[in-house]
Amino acid sequence: MKETNTDQKSIGAQGHLDENELAQYIEYLRHETDQAPVQLIEHVQTCSFCRAEVMALYDMLDALPDIAEEPSGLETDYRQPSGHRAKTVALRIIRTAAAVAAVVVLSWGVKQLVVNRLHDNRQAAGIKMDSSTLVGSKMNGQPSGTTHGEGKSLIPDSVSFAAAFAPNPGYDNMVEAKYRTDRNPNVVGPGPETELAPGDSLQISWTPNSADVFELVIVDNKGNDIRRVKLGKVSSFSWKIDLNPGLYYWKFTNKEEIWKVGRMIIKPGK
Amino acid sequence: MQKNDIDIKLLLEDTGRLLVRYQPVIRTIVRNLAFQGYLQKRDISDLIQEVNRKLIERLPKIRERYNYKSQFKTYFSVVIRNLCLEEFRKVKFVAEPQPEIYEQTAAELTSDHLVIVQEYERLCRAIRMFGNEQSAIWIALRCFACLQVTPENFLGFELEPDLDTRIRIAGQVNETAEMQKKDKMEVLSEIFTHLERKPRTADAFRKWSSGRLEELVDLMNGHPPRSAYTVDVLYILIEKAELFENND
């Protein structure tokens, strides 16, 4: 059983790992120590609170910068002898050069992976960057609607796998927002929990206004513009989804303001 | 002198310099937590100042409490993070569009391959925390994800089955690939009853596996959430990670 150090600050309620124990357990998990006290391992095995703490701390530690090898600009009594210092400086130069070389090689390798992946994505999605995938039914019968940003990649390369589904609080607030009623084009679109699959259609309709030029903007959950469509003299819009899995928002706007924001989840396919 | 030795020397002799040395760490922790909490960016420098002020006050106690059983950087990072959380509870959060919120998540991730490898490592780490239940969790995950299990997956149980038994059991689990989930649970509950030497009904197994999977999703998403995993996305992550591993 875990021995609680009652004279030390606990992370949460009594009976959880304190700061020393968390540090010790995390180093065990990172293989920086060969073993941790059995009571720590057994406690984490049975305590979901401490598991969550460990996970959060581990993620945080992964993101931390290295501490400088020597304190910089300090007069200390542990200044190394000059010969040793010269060797340290030389080693630092070599390490820096090696790090730069490694970054160059890694960047080249990543670039190759990304280029191939983009190429595969485009082929897999059967992307046609033209207006044939967009259909609008117009008041006077003439189709209209063009795509913008042709040749633009569908998603930013830097989207994390599951972070593509994380809600954007700013846009979520806008989905719930009420808009003023005068000149409101009464936009109707899919509900906020709509789940679509690649190949499904996004359908939006509204009351057209000859004085207004409307635009539909699709953004990802990080607010990056994915697609912009000038809607012209139409009253509805249908678009066959060709997006990668993730959470997206659509904005129905004119020149001056946003009239409606919608939300849709593109499900992952297998 | 090793980095840890320097830290400890400064902790004992010159806490001011220790704090200077750890400024990059403090800034990173405050920024990471601030972004997760949707804090206004302009408040971050105020927070860093406040955290530094508190650390100066508390360093004598921190020095007293540190038990030298871990690297000082690890321990001190935990302390800084907890101190930040104390401060954040006092600050009112403002939910406004903050496009820079996600810059931390997206930073340096330039390939899906690397992301999936990193996320898979996080998943392995999360499962490792379950100690004796690791093997059972992996088998359940792979079975529900319709992925093959191997005889090696059946090591680490109370009963140490021999190779022939492990091959046979792995075959049994792999035959459930086309079955409904509830039928898979029946098969797994029988196998685990045998391996763990304690009876486990299908219902008990269902409750256990649901609980564990939900917690894994929770751990992967973090608090506040940095991702939006579901159980299905976990299955896809494992499948993709193994695909990359097999192609390497």
Tell if the CB–CB gap between B65 and A22 is shorter than 8 Å. Answer: no
| Domain boundaries of chain B, sorted by first residue | 3-104, 112-247
A-proximal residues of B, 18-77, CB under 8 Å = 20-22, 24-25, 28-29, 32, 38, 65-67, 69-71, 73-75, 77
CATH architecture of residue range(s) B3-104: Orthogonal Bundle (1.10)
Mean pLDDT highest for which of A113-117, A203-207, A251-255, B173-177? B173-177
Residue scoring higher pLDDT (A207 or A18):
A18
On the question of pLDDT at A134 being above 60, the answer is no
A225 touches chain B (CB under 8 A): no
Amino acid at A141: G
Predicted local confidence at residue B223, as pLDDT? 75
> How near does any CA of chain B get to the CA of A218, in Å?
16
- Extract the runs of DSSP E, i.e. beta strands, from chain A: 134-135, 146-147, 195-196, 201-205, 215-220, 225-230, 236-240, 246-253, 258-266
Q: Please check whether residue A130 touches B, CB under 8 A.
A: no
Tell me, what's the pLDDT at A121?
53
* pLDDT in the model for residue A262: 87
Mean pLDDT of chain A: 68
- Structure token pair of residue B172: 């049994």
- Please tell me the pTM assigned to this model: 0.58
Mean pLDDT of chain B: 84
Q: Is beta strand A246-253 parallel, antiparallel or unpaired with respect to A258-266?
A: antiparallel
User: Is residue A119 pLDDT above 70, yes or no?
Assistant: no
In angstroms, what CA-CA distances link B6 with A65, B9, B73? 17, 5, 11
Tokens 């006050």 sit on residue = B57
Q: Do A55 and B125 touch (CB under 8 A)?
A: yes
Sequence letter at residue A263: R
Chosen for mutation from A4, A34, A54, A55 (greatest number of chain B CBs closer than 10 Å) is: A55
Compute the distance between CA of residue B53 and CA of residue B47 in angstroms, rounded to an integer: 10
pLDDT of residue A140: 37
Q: Which residue has the higher pLDDT, B160 or B76?
A: B76
The pLDDT assigned to B248 comes to 59
* Integer Cα distance of A172 and A247 in angstroms: 11
The verdict on a CB contact (< 8 Å) between A55 and B69 is no
Please name which of A111, A114, A162 lies closest in space to residue B116, comparing C-alpha atoms.
A162
Instruction: For residue A173, name the pLDDT band (cuts at 50, 70, 90).
Output: confident
pLDDT tens figures, B200-211: 888 999 999 999
Which of B1, B6, B5, B9 has its CA nearest to residue B63? B9
- B82-113: pLDDT as tens digits: 888 877 666 554 444 344 433 334 444 445 67
A69 touches chain B (CB under 8 A): yes
| pLDDT for the residue numbered B40 | 53
Among the partner-chain residues A60, A162, A223, the one whose CB lies closest to the CB of B81 is A60
C-alpha closest to that of A129 among A228, A270, A63, A244: A228
The candidate with the shortest Cα–Cα distance to A30, out of B19, B221, B112, B73, is B73
Q: Where are the alpha helices (DSSP H) in B37-71?
A: 43-65
Query: Is B125 near chain A, with CB under 8 Å?
Result: yes
> Dihedrals φ, ψ of A214, to 5°?
-95, 155
The mean pLDDT of A170-176, rounded to a whole number, is 77
Decide: B128 and B134 in contact? Cβ < 8 Å: yes
* Cβ A50 vs Cβ A16: under 8 Å: yes
pLDDT of residue A257: 76
Amino acid identity of residue B229, one-letter, is: Y
| Amino acid A131: pLDDT | 37
Q: What is the pLDDT of residues A180-217, one digit of tens each?
A: 556 677 788 888 777 787 788 888 888 877 777 888 88
- Identify the pLDDT of residue A232: 76
Give, in order, the Cα–Cα distances in Å from B84 to each of A94, B67, B176, B195, B234: 37, 22, 48, 45, 31
Residue A42 and residue B106: Cβ atoms within 8 Å? Answer: no
What is the spatial order of strands in the sheet that A201-205 belongs to?
A: A134-135, A236-240, A201-205
H-only helix segments in chain B: 3-13, 15-21, 23-36, 43-65, 72-88, 103-106, 112-128, 134-144, 163-174, 181-196, 202-221, 231-247
Question: At residue B7, does pLDDT exceed 70?
Answer: yes
pLDDT value for B19: 93
Q: Which residue has better confidence, A164 or A109?
A: A164
| A55, A60, A69: residue with CB nearest B29 | A60
| Burial tier of A8 (Cβ tally within 10 Å: 0-12, 13-18, 19+) | middle
A159 pLDDT above the threshold of 60: no
